[in-house]
Amino acid sequence: MRVVIPIYDVNPVRRRPWVTYTLIGTNVVFLLLTPLFTQVGAGQESVADICRQAAFFQHFAVIPHELVTNHQLPLVATGGVTPDGTACLIGPAGYTKIPALSVLIAMFLHGGWLHLLGNMLFLWVFGNNIEDRLGHLGYLLFYLVTGYAAAYGFALANAGSVEPLVGASGAISGVLGAYLVLYPKVRVWSLVPILFFIPLRLPAWLVLGMWFILQWVYSSGLAVAEGGEVAYLAHVIGFVLGAVVALPFRNRTPRREQDRFNIKTA
């Protein structure tokens, strides 16, 4: 659960965020190509559906144990169902998997539409300004590095886990950390759950600060989240790295952007 839901930031950009647009489009396309998409609105999943999903994610998603050992699992879900129709068939993988490459692929995979839409909303609201500051190529590199760092950091802390890890959250968390450092006073229109969702214009430091604290609390085990399968530690790692990388850029704001920033935050 998120404390607030950001929907728009009052922070114009100087160039079109083509990389952000491309990342969002690519994530949508990847979801359309996964077994999950064919089951949207189809009711309860069958055992066959679950087995196909399991095989797909074990093939393409991040498996922490694989990252740590740099070897794929010897036995995986094959996508088939046992003769009695109650479980998934397990056997040797019929493919060769490169664990390091799975990090890149998993950044564009999601566990469903809600998972995708939540991530893409944050990327849409905050990604364009980070791309504007870092430049197209620098932003893409930043996005990938924070995503890789978040995945490997989570894997090192959960070296024995064989549960698939998917989603752009680690990389997007890096974007949020950078935004907090570079634009802490920018106003962000957000939906705040006070009885109903009420739109309020809040400073970025409050919106993103609350978000980070919540991720840290859940990752540390001080509270139990509703989404127990969320890799909150990956969010924390990506956010911290993004903030650290952005620190040298705080004093490199173009003069035109400084003037504009002062006007809208006065």
For the ranges 3-7, 37-41, 136-140, the one whose mean pLDDT is highest: 136-140
Give dist(CA 203, CA 207) in Å, integer.
Answer: 7
- The letter for the amino acid at 33 is L
pLDDT at 39 over 70: no
- 102-158 per-position pLDDT tens digit: 999 999 999 888 899 999 999 999 999 999 999 999 999 999 999 999 999 999 999
Bridge partners for 81 per DSSP: 88
Domain locations along the chain: 5-38+98-265
Q: Which alpha helices (H) appear in 70-112, and where do they start and end?
A: 99-106
Question: How is domain 5-38+98-265 classified at the CATH fold level?
Answer: Rhomboid-like fold (1.20.1540)
> Which pLDDT belongs to residue 197?
83
Listed as own residue / partner, the contacts of 134-137 with beta carbons closer than 8 Å and 24 or more positions apart are: 134/178, 134/249, 136/18, 136/19
Global pTM value: 0.88
| Sign of the CA dihedral running 123, 124, 130, 134 | positive
Contacts of 150 (CB under 8 A, 6+ apart): 169, 170, 171, 173, 174, 234, 235, 237, 238, 241
